[in-house]
Chains A and B, each alone.
Chain A
Amino acid sequence: MSKALAFINDKRVRDVFYQAALLIGLAALLVYFIRNASQNMVQAGIASGFDFLWRTSGIEVPFVLTNYTQSDNILSLFWAGVANTLLVTAIALVLATALGFLIGIARLSSIWLVQAIAGAYVEFVRNIPLLFFVLFWYFGVIAALPAPRASLSVFGVAFLNNRGLTIPLPDAGANFKYAFIAIAISCLLHWLFLRWAKRRKEQTGQDAPVLRVGLVLLLLVPVLALAWATLATRWDIPVLRGFNYRGGFVVIPEFVALLAALVTYTAGFIAEIVRGGIQSVPHGQIEASSALGLRPGQTLRLVTIPQALRVMTPPMTNQYLNVLKNSSFGAAIAYPDVVSLFMGSALNNTGQAIEIIAMTLAVYLVIGLAVSAFMNWYNARIALVTR
């Protein structure tokens, strides 16, 4: 080979060449797709751009948290959908975590039957599609509930029937606002107290009554504040009039079914994470801690849980993001989340596929990136410091 061509055997030249070729190939493909799309859109008479967002939507939504009404524009419809997605995600997260921890700890129980039942639940739930649960809860369970006249009553204030769950609504929210302010202040006080206690412990070695103060500030104060707010507020309690309940707030059956499905399904996965986390703490750690004279409670709080949490955090984050993404399964039963409202109804009305798909996916990507960024920061903070 002549010297002039020797450079093609240089690894650096080849690397640049391959990457440039890939980039150009992808760009060409993209241009080809965009050209086809714009031609097809011109043929179908679809305008592009985001002007459609300010058109009147005219879509009726059965369940809104924002002030959206039919005469608002499509952008408000989008936000109404986002709010519904976030609502079902947030509630499902809390309930699934609670149920998942319960089942995960039950799998480690020293009582055989408890262990077996928890294990059976996990094996059952993890091997069935989530969509099955969504449809089952909606068409199998909620549809089979009695009509409003024969509702299942929950302490005489909330009523469950085949039209959803009717819950009481406070007439005014002022008392709850004060209660939440009180809770926030008490959390802040607790944080300050912990800092003070830690500093004193480092300086003088004296213990502060952390547990007792924590119980008062984090449990007693919130419970009292909420109890006061509940009693001091006048409630609009639903009453049966004719064929349906009047008053209160109706949680639509789609919400109840989607929530039940998300919670029962996700709990099975969280249970496995919890079990794995606790089992990952070596037994020697617990023995060492009792050899140092720590009581079982202290061992759990200071040795087992911090180490288990470190193992559990990354998969838990994944599960939480899965719940957010899985809340879109509501589209199958027409729960008005962002996918079914915006990617479904709004897209049908306007035909602006590309813009609407981009906006919908952006919701999930933005939330996902934000959560990942936060968790990376948190993971770095709690990571084991090794020398």
Chain B
Amino acid sequence: MSAANTLPTSWRERLFGTPTVTVVTLLLAALLAWIAVPIIRWALIDATWSGQTRNDCTGSGACWVFIKARFGQFMYGFYPVDERWRPNLAGILFALSGAAIILAPKRLKLSLGLAALVILPPLGIWLLAGGFGLRAIETREWGGLMLTVFLSIYASLIAIPLGILLALGRQSELKVIKLISVLFIEFWRGVPIIAVIFLASLLLPLIMPSGIGVDRLARAVIGLGFCIAAYMAEAVRGGLQALPKGQREAGTALGLSYWKATWFIILPQALRISLPAITNEFIALVKNTTLVLVVSILDLLGIAQASLADPNWVGMNMEAYVFSGALYWLICFALSRWSKSLETKRGR
């Protein structure tokens, strides 16, 4: 039991180095085959790939026809088919501006990023919800993967700025501001997110003046945003604490105000350090968006769950779960790999 567990480099050594290793490898390989072969047969070999209805699925394997028939719903929920170019366009715009910010020369990055932050969120909501020349589509009709992405992005638009402010507040020398930040962070971190989503959907309409309704989806975004903000604050705090105290003192000595020192000296360094932690919190957020199911908002997992009730497609539980689970896994795995590569880049 040691820290340096170096494995032999050659595959023959790795798998069959000593008699004990050989026996364990063979036993485990047999076990793996025993588990994996039926799964592969079900998912690939015996599966039905082409057809239109439930009746086309005669084999003993998976019925991927079901996923094909419902693919649009898994992606967009009940969003009207003719208008699906709108979420697509919004997605492309977000992706393009993200790429532009990453590829832009260093001195343009900040201004581009701020411009995107001001323009994109309202534009995205306009494209999705409609009005002002576009057909209005109620949030009730949104769903599927599109909604998962929407919830993740818009909740983090609340969570990241609020989280940074809270982290700064927690480090502040001003006692009252520190206390408020600590109370806020510890409260939201201490309660289950599922309860927060219930809370947001029940309390937000109650505390608004009568007559002002809060959209169901907006309640979920606000609830998730507040809760994740507390976790984000802890991620940012790690970066703030890693900075030597001299950084802020040097800023003050140069005559910079608190906010100027924070903006030009502290945050650029602290956020770079805490970017992997922030990404990890974002992954947690993507996973937690599934909880909107409890207030009957149908994100990707919700649509998969709802599709089980279709009388035309009885018994498709496994297909629906495998498809939605694989999508979640791909998204989160890609994000976590990105976060890991950031960490190793910084480590060098």
A203 within 8 A of B: no
A108-B5, A347-B202, A357-B203 are known contacts. Are A123 and B191 too (CB-CB below 8 A)? no
Question: SS class of chain B's interface: helix, strand, loop or mixed?
Answer: helix
Nearest Cβ distance between residue A171 and chain B, in whole angstroms? 38
Specify which chain A residues have a CB less than 8 angstroms from the CB of B177 in the assembled complex: 18-19, 22
Q: What are 22 A-B contacts defined by CB distance under 8 Å?
A: A34-B207, A36-B208, A37-B207, A39-B210, A40-B205, A40-B206, A40-B207, A40-B210, A109-B5, A112-B21, A117-B32, A128-B332, A135-B305, A136-B325, A281-B3, A283-B3, A339-B194, A353-B202, A357-B202, A364-B190, A364-B192, A365-B187
Nearest Cβ distance between residue A359 and chain B, in whole angstroms? 11
Nearest Cβ distance between residue B126 and chain A, in whole angstroms? 28
**Residue on A nearest B304 in the bound complex, by CB:** A135
Contact B3 A129 (CB under 8 A): no
Q: What 5 pairs between A and B have smallest CB-CB spacing?
A: A127-B332, A33-B207, A129-B287, A112-B14, A325-B192
A26-B180, A36-B208, A126-B336 are known contacts. Are A143 and B317 too (CB-CB below 8 A)? yes
A51 within 8 A of B: no
A positions within 8 Å CB-CB of B = 15, 18-19, 22-23, 26, 33-34, 36-37, 39-41, 43, 108-115, 117, 123-124, 126-132, 135-136, 139-140, 143-144, 278-283, 286, 300, 304, 321, 325-329, 331-332, 339, 343-344, 347, 353-354, 357, 360-361, 364-365, 368-369
User: CA separation between A165 and B185, bound complex, in Å?
Assistant: 40
Partner pick for B15 among A113, A368, A369, CB 8 A cutoff: A113
**Residue on B nearest A20 in the bound complex, by CB:** B176
Contact B317 A127 (CB under 8 A): no
Contact B324 A132 (CB under 8 A): yes
Partner pick for B328 among A43, A127, A300, A354, CB 8 A cutoff: A127
B102 within 8 A of A: no
Fill in one digit per residue for B272-297: 1 if any A CB lies within 8 Å of its CB, else 0: 00000000000100111011011000
Partner pick for B207 among A36, A112, A123, CB 8 A cutoff: A36
A115-B7, A126-B336 are known contacts. Are A43 and B195 too (CB-CB below 8 A)? no
Contact A332 B174 (CB under 8 A): no
B39 within 8 A of A: no
Specify which chain B residues have a CB less than 8 angstroms from the CB of A129 in the assembled complex: 286-288, 290, 301, 328
Q: B residues 173-203 with Cβ under 8 Å of A?
A: 173-177, 180, 187, 190-195, 198-199, 202-203
Partner pick for B1 among A135, A300, A361, CB 8 A cutoff: A300
Specify which chain B residues have a CB less than 8 angstroms from the CB of A278 in the assembled complex: 1, 3
User: CA separation between A127 and B15, bound complex, in Å?
Assistant: 28
Partner pick for A279 among B3, B288, B301, CB 8 A cutoff: B3
Contact A131 B192 (CB under 8 A): no
Specify which chain B residues have a CB less than 8 angstroms from the CB of A18 in the assembled complex: 174, 177
Q: B residues 140-186 with Cβ under 8 Å of A?
A: 173-177, 180
Specify which chain A residues have a CB less than 8 angstroms from the CB of B191 in the assembled complex: 325, 361, 364-365
Specify which chain A residues have a CB less than 8 angstroms from the CB of B176 in the assembled complex: 19, 22-23
A135-B305, A139-B308 are known contacts. Are A128 and B187 too (CB-CB below 8 A)? no
Q: B residues 315-346 with Cβ under 8 Å of A?
A: 317-318, 321, 324-325, 328-329, 332-333, 336
Contact B24 A111 (CB under 8 A): yes
Nearest Cβ distance between residue B45 and chain A, in whole angstroms? 21
Nearest Cβ distance between residue B188 and chain A, in whole angstroms? 10
Q: B residues 1-44 with Cβ under 8 Å of A?
A: 1-5, 7, 14-15, 20-21, 24-25, 28-29, 32
User: CA separation between A332 and B24, bound complex, in Å?
Assistant: 41
Contact A112 B15 (CB under 8 A): yes
B268 within 8 A of A: no
Fill in one digit per residue for B206-239: 1 if any A CB lies within 8 Å of its CB, else 0: 1111100000000000000000000000000000
Specify which chain A residues have a CB less than 8 angstroms from the CB of B209 in the assembled complex: 36, 39
Specify which chain A residues have a CB less than 8 angstroms from the CB of B175 in the assembled complex: 19
User: CA separation between A354 and B1, bound complex, in Å?
Assistant: 53
**Residue on A nearest B209 in the bound complex, by CB:** A36
User: CA separation between A79 and B290, bound complex, in Å?
Assistant: 28
A131-B301, A365-B191 are known contacts. Are A114 and B3 too (CB-CB below 8 A)? no
